Amino acid sequence: MKIFNYDSLCSIDKFPEHEKYKDQTLKLINSDPSGKNLKKGNTMDIFSDWSTDNYSTKLYWRNIGEPIYQCVKNVTTEMGYRNASLANFWYQQYNKGGKHGWHVHEYCMFTSVYYLEFPEGSPRTEFKNTMTNEVFVPDVEEGDIMIFPSFIAHRSPINDTDNRKTILSWNINVQVDTE
């Protein structure tokens, strides 16, 4: 067997309408009864609506969904893909001690992290090369949307601050021209 590296496309870009939607989106998330679900275990300690599949209950997505889709479409088009589709969107909130261990996303090509509430000192998403165990930490800040291949192992390390961190995440599928 021959294993080789092939560089993958990733992006970090400012969500241009972050200031317009931040407070309203956080208010809707904070009033969402499904998000009071604590996901806790050896590798996870977060509040999330991940297990809620019903689009109609995700009120925070109604206003912000279309502007985020336009942003994602622009980025994936710039990457050389077409027909971006979003699926399985959710939020995660990390209070002091919150974490999400190493994982990948199944059944999609890319995944995204939008740093909706990201106070100074909040832990940034980390990536891991599963062959070398080398860890890479991209430089992100509040308002950024990071898009990366869903097979890359990633995590959110423990939030050691007293400040809450809130992210929105979703999965992306794309197509490529056959020419």
- Segment 7-19 shows an average pLDDT of 93
Is pTM beyond 0.85? Reply is yes
Rounded Cα distance between 79 and 110, Å, is: 12
Give the pLDDT of residue 7: 76
Give the pLDDT of residue 87: 86
pLDDT digits (tens, 9 = 90+) for 118-139: 999 999 999 999 999 999 999 9
pLDDT at 40 over 90: no
The band of 148, judged by pLDDT with boundaries at 50, 70 and 90, is very high
Rounded Cα distance between 61 and 87, Å, is: 12
pLDDT digits (tens, 9 = 90+) for 78-99: 999 999 999 889 999 999 999 9
